[in-house]
Structure 1
Amino acid sequence: MKPIQLISPVDGSVYAERQPLSHDEAQAAVARARSAQKDWAARPLAERIALVKAGVEKLNGIKDKLVEELAWQMGRPTRYGGEFGGVGDRTNYMSEIAEQALAPIVAEASDRFERRIVKEPVGVVFIVAPWNYPYLTTINTLAPALIAGNAVILKHASQTLLVGERLAEAFHAGGVPAELFQNVVLDHATTESLIAGRAFNFVNFTGSVGGGAAMEKAAAGTFTGLGLELGGKDPGYVRADADLDAAVDSLMDGAMYNAGQCCCGIERIYVHESLYDAFVEKSVAWVKGLTLGNPFDAATTLGPMANKRFAAVVRAQVAEAIAAGATPLIDPALFPADDGGAYLAPQILVDITHDMRVMKEESFGPVVGIMKVSGDDEAISLMNDSPYGLTCSIWTSDAEAAAEIGARIETGTVFMNRCDYLDPALCWTGCKDTGRGAALSVLGYNAVTRPKSYHLKKVTK
């Protein structure tokens, strides 16, 4: 097997290299996890919660080191401090609701019958995590899976090879048994073979639509549960009654933060005609205020994309749109760090249509298209004209109108006056090609447990 290399976007060097497990080695790892799971599930819930939270505490104890590693691995500027506040918040919330979420559903408790539904752990949970928010996306499933009594096998993206290792080290240091939670390095063939061989009871995958399709194909006929968060092309809509400055600030941040590499980042914006010119002018000024550069430089607000091949996709979409009549509003010369590789200047496009790839296919980079609309109906039609549905962002002073518009949009989450955010109390889900399943909230525990019914008759007549 060829070693898996992590090429740093900072300088193109090989930052880490790991040898993937053979199929037999991977099967042995799963077997160890399955063996450890029963004892873990038998521990009191409070103990499991305490050990998971201890693991997160250990992770936070080395966050300065991890922030630096993240910059080397996927390019996020160190000034933003990593993802560890969110990791703690999500773990704490899922811990707080665990007793309620995992409690039996009692239909009857009388002197004649005891009828209840309990929620049992599914067994071994397989997490295939992405590189863009490598700690946050992992914790979304890792924390509830362990709290619910499961074993976890984690396979991280090749772009963030070290993240899985750091998570395992921290959780083991916090007291989670080493065989119960294992980080593994696998190639695609071994991953698909394990899934096809029913090695796992639930698979959570965050990544591309193509990757999700490969997961479904591998699991076909196994009846293995799948949670899939795939592509996105999240829209923003600025109504005539919106707070213009707030909309510009949040939507541009939602489009450009993390070099646009956010699952729920803003990739297309529809603005009421009465605000369009002002919105575009202010957005251009906002983006021109960014500084593209080395992520270790304190002045850098926009780092490189995680890999030069990801930047190439964005460049191609932008070039095609311009050739088809779109107008670019940002001169790349304003961002001299753009090297034609992973370092990519941000871009705003106008005079665009949905015939252009940049408005229909996922970009996952620092580019956003802005279109003028006449009102709600046109905006809704355009927002729904997408194969994806993760989140939408509506900017208005009318909450009732936002709810009515949201009811007509094919999406997983409706935001009003905010975007690019995840609330652990709400279900994180999507529709259409964005995938299926539910993470976080009370519903997040459903994916990592199975219902088991008890009908106990206490009398014989």
Structure 2
Amino acid sequence: MNIQSINPIDGKIIQSYKEDSEDTVIYKIADTHRAWLNWRESDFTQRAALLNNLADQLYKERDNLAQLMAFEMGKPLKDGAAEIDKCASVCKYYADQGTDFLKDQLIATEASKSYVSYQPLGIVLAIMPWNFPFWQVFRFLAPALMAGNAGLLKHASNVPGCALSIEKLVLEAGFPKHLFQTLMIGSKAVNHVIADPLVKAVTLTGSTEAGKKVAAQAAGLLKKTVLELGGSDAYLVLEDADLETAADICASSRLINNGQSCISAKRFILVKEIEKEFTTLFMEKMKQRVTGDPFEATTNLGPMARADLRDELHQQVQRNIDMGAKCILGGQVPSLNGNHAFYKPTILTGIKKGMPAYSEEMFGPVAAILSAKDTSEAINLANDTVFGLGAAVFTKDDALAEEIAKTKLQAGSCFVNSLVKSDPRLPFGGINQSGYGRELGLFGIHEFVNIKTVYIQ
């Protein structure tokens, strides 16, 4: 069978790739394990130097990689370039900080010497999505390699070119051959990889349902997993917020990556005093985004990654309308040249409990507005979800904002007067149906190591 790369602008096949056979996958796993046996003996200085080389390779290839993302999943060129820069930054971050994060931690006990040592596990399998085809991989790859692990990548089937380019970048940076490899396989073959005894851990970014399946299999094999899953992030706008700034930030968050981001704002919870004014401002900000060819410099909203995803999103929108929601912007498949996977910015108001936009993730450029009578109800609405990835609150009351973010909102990342984003320096991940474990920062590099106690009498 072949894995195809399809242009979301016009639906044409860019390239076909031969899927790895079961035997090929077994050989790749064995090759990666052999490479790891040597790599685990490398010192921190060597690992850091290669990570810095990898960052340099990313900067060198930035424009080409941005074009590849535009072709395979519709990301505007300037957004693709920014994604590559972020990948380089996470490589440099762990090159700079990894030694301190992984150095032995002396613990005073009755022993003559006792300490905690951080030792690599082996092969980490990464199952990654298409929406940030480089960043999602590098935020696992950089800490995993710095910690002395090896990596196998099962990327989303619609971005095979991106997957292979990452393997090429790692090799060109000077890392040992086979230490990191891409598996050209479909989702049905993943369970065989997880079951392989040489694979020690799994990290997945994707849907909640995919996460449950992977977690169940890995748990049965007692293998460590980190899951970053779906989200329906709530942004609370309180009565004293700077509405102009809040509207701009909210629109940017909702439309980032063509609306296809787990941590983008999806539910906008407005207290009644500012609901009308904010909605007007928000709608204007959403209208200002230019939908079009991702290769054009003026475009800030490209197509969705696939036509079937656009169609599923449109069906969700229609279900909300059928149940009483009002569509005040968009809500229609646009008549654009090619028109393969485009969907214009959409705003739904009057969202109530029981409607899809209240409880489901809307993975595309669709905003759901909910009304709250006061701050307390806004918090309750924000937390009335199975998800728990991110949340934000907008208010000029700094003390109140920090209290809400720290103790009231139930999510892995809570931001004040800012859009929720990932940062190499800060731990990132969710709770509830948004997954478990953390990526990035100190906590991210400690997820896939053996935290070993050494005790010398």
TM range (shorter): over 0.9
**Aligned twin of 2:380:** 381
**Aligned twin of 1:437:** 437
**Aligned twin of 2:107:** 107
The CA distance in 1 between the partners of 2:190 and 2:333, in whole Å, is 44
Matched position secondary structure for 2:351: coil
Deviation at 1:335, TM superposition (A): 5.2
Deviation at 1:109, TM superposition (A): 8.8
335-344 or 425-434, which moves further after superposition? 335-344
Q: Is the 8 A contact 2:58 2:85 kept in 1?
A: no
**Aligned twin of 1:278:** 277
**Aligned twin of 1:394:** 393
**CA pair 80-117 structure 1, distance change in 2 beyond 3 A:** closer
1:89-238 correspondence runs (5 A): 89-108=89-108, 113-238=112-237
| Deviations 1:62-106, CA, capped at 9 Å, x for gaps | 111111111111111124343122112222222222122101121
1:230-249 correspondence runs (5 A): 230-249=229-248
Deviation at 1:18, TM superposition (A): 1.5
The CA distance in 1 between the partners of 2:79 and 2:220, in whole Å, is 44
Q: Is the 8 A contact 1:94 1:143 kept in 2?
A: yes
Deviation at 1:208, TM superposition (A): 0.8
**Aligned twin of 2:305:** 306
* Structure 1 alignment gaps of length 5 or more: none
Matched position secondary structure for 2:441: coil
The CA distance in 2 between the partners of 1:195 and 1:41, in whole Å, is 21
Question: Residue type of the partner of 1:235?
Answer: A
Matched position secondary structure for 1:359: helix
**Aligned twin of 2:370:** 371
447-456 or 78-87, which moves further after superposition? 78-87
Is 1:346 equivalent to 2:351 in the alignment? Answer: no
The CA distance in 1 between the partners of 2:305 and 2:7, in whole Å, is 8
Matched position secondary structure for 1:220: helix
176-185 or 141-150, which moves further after superposition? 176-185
Q: Is the 8 A contact 2:118 2:450 kept in 1?
A: yes
CA RMSD, 1 decimal: 1.8
Q: Is the 8 A contact 1:16 1:161 kept in 2?
A: no
Q: Is the 8 A contact 1:56 1:171 kept in 2?
A: no
Deviation at 1:346, TM superposition (A): 1.3
| Deviations 1:251-288, CA, capped at 9 Å, x for gaps | 01100121110110111101121111111001111111
Question: Residue type of the partner of 1:293?
Answer: G
**Aligned twin of 2:417:** 417
Q: Is the 8 A contact 2:10 2:338 kept in 1?
A: no
Normalised by the size of structure 2, how large is the TM-score? 0.96
Deviation at 1:340, TM superposition (A): 6.6
The CA distance in 2 between the partners of 1:211 and 1:53, in whole Å, is 33
Is 1:49 equivalent to 2:71 in the alignment? Answer: no
Q: Is the 8 A contact 1:292 1:337 kept in 2?
A: no
249-258 or 295-304, which moves further after superposition? 295-304
Deviation at 1:398, TM superposition (A): 2.0
Normalised by the size of structure 1, how large is the TM-score? 0.95
The CA distance in 1 between the partners of 2:205 and 2:173, in whole Å, is 26
**CA pair 367-338 structure 1, distance change in 2 beyond 3 A:** farther
| Runs of 4+ residues deviating >4 angstroms | 331-335, 338-341
Deviation at 1:332, TM superposition (A): 5.7
Matched position secondary structure for 1:182: strand
